[in-house]
């Protein structure tokens, strides 16, 4: 189809919206959806996401990009043009807990998650049957603190060969090295099983149980080199009470994790997220 999206950020100043919309109009495009945000009209950063219809977009993509460079330079823009018809490729990393993987596979099957799940990588065999039943390649790559570099070089090779656009850590219980993270900057989404920044690190449900909280949560975020400190994309919570043992917190938490991760991935796939420093701007 002919649907495209353009994401821009640049120093705020008058005339940006006019320049962008003039450009699109001159290309014969009709703006379908447009969202913008400025950290500060004087001296701040301006962000805009425009979704548009443009006849023959695919054929014209290259020339549009070339022509837009002039506008972009004038306003010192960082920008990105995406054709909606070019489906993004994702790789899912998983360990032994499969509920997040299963939610994604399910939503993908039912057409709610429009992506190409190119492959699944795991440091356990637990997911193999489920994944291969859907004809998705499954790679078992043992990973631990000891063989991290070796495992990652194997993973990176597979990711590169498959032109992966987004890596989803669907309860993958290994830490990634800075070099891996850098290769896929703002392209790795993790689900942390707590309402960050509460309960950073290991065993958050155990921590939550011990603290006696009345709500538990989950957080999806882009991965950076600071554990659980990356830009937050989405969070949600559910109510618990004194009767809920750790086992129960995990079950309740699992359903939050499923929906929070799926939501974050959808927003990423629809180019709705702009990372700005350690925060996200989400045009949902």
Query: For a copy of itself, which residue of 173, 236, 246, 270 counts as binding (CB under 8 A)?
Result: 236
Query: Could you say whether residue 202 binds a copy of itself (CB under 8 A)?
Result: no
Would you call 228 a catalytic residue per the annotation?
yes
Does 211 interact with a copy of itself (rule: CB under 8 A)? yes
Restricting to residues 112-141, which ones interact with a copy of itself according to CB under 8 A?
112
Instruction: Among 144, 202, 226, 243, indicate the residue that binds a copy of itself (CB under 8 A).
Output: 243
Helices (H), 42-95: 57-74
Where on the phi/psi map is residue 85: left (φ > 0), alpha (ψ -120 to 50), or beta? Answer: alpha
Cβ(102)–Cβ(113) under 8 Å?
no
Q: What DSSP element (H or E) covers 48?
A: strand 45-53
Name which position in 96, 150, 157, 251 contacts a copy of itself (CB under 8 A). Answer: 251
| Binds a copy of itself by CB under 8 A, chosen from 10, 28, 65, 174 | 28
Identity of the residue, 7 or 151, whose beta carbon is nearer to a copy of itself in the bound complex: 7
Provide the 8-state DSSP code for 9.
E
Residue 201 DSSP symbol: S
CB atoms within 10 A of CB 133: 10
Write down the least CB distance from residue 120 to a copy of itself, Å: 18
User: Pattern of binders to a copy of itself over 52-81, x per CB under 8 A?
Assistant: -x----------------------------
Q: How many CB atoms lie within 10 A of CB 52?
A: 22
Q: Is 186 in the site for a copy of itself (CB under 8 A)?
A: no
DSSP string, 119-170: EEEESSSTTHHHHHTTT--EEE----TTTHHHHHHHHHHHHHHTT-SEEEES
Of all helices (H) and strands (E), which one includes residue 235? strand 232-239
280 contributes a contact to a copy of itself by CB under 8 A: yes
Catalytically annotated residue among 12, 165, 228, 244? 228
Q: Of the ranges 81-89, 137-145, 174-182, 227-235, which one interacts with a copy of itself (CB under 8 A)?
A: 227-235
Q: What amino acid positions are annotated as catalytic residues?
A: 228
């Amino acid at each position: 189809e002919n649907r495209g999206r353009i994401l821009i950020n640049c120093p705020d100043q008058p005339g940006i919206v006019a320049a962008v919309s003039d450009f699109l109009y001159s290309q014969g495009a009709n703006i379908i959806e447009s969202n913008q945000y400025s950290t500060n009209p004087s001296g701040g950063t301006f962000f805009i996401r425009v979704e548009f219809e443009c006849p023959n977009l695919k054929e014209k993509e290259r020339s549009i990009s070339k022509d837009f460079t002039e506008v972009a330079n004038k306003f010192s823009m960082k920008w990105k043009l995406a054709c909606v018809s070019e489906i993004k490729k994702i790789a899912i990393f998983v360990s032994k807990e499969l509920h997040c993987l299963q939610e994604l596979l399910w939503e993908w099957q039912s057409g709610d998650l429009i992506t190409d799940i190119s492959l699944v990588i795991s440091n356990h065999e637990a997911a193999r049957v489920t994944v291969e039943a859907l004809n998705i390649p499954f790679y078992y790559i043992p990973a631990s603190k000891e063989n991290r570099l070796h495992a990652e070089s194997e993973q990176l090779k597979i990711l590169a060969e498959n032109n992966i656009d987004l890596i989803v850590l669907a309860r993958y219980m290994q830490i990634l090295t800075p070099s891996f993270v850098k290769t896929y900057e703002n392209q790795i989404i993790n689900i942390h099983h707590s309402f960050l920044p509460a309960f950073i690190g290991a065993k958050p449900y155990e921590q939550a149980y011990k603290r006696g909280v009345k709500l538990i949560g989950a957080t999806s975020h882009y991965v950076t080199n600071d554990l659980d400190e990356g830009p937050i994309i989405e969070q949600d919570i559910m109510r618990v009470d004194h009767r809920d043992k750790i086992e129960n917190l995990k079950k309740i938490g699992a359903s939050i994790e499923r929906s929070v991760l799926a939501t974050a991935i959808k927003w990423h796939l629809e180019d709705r997220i702009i990372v700005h420093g350690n925060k996200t701007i989400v045009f949902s």
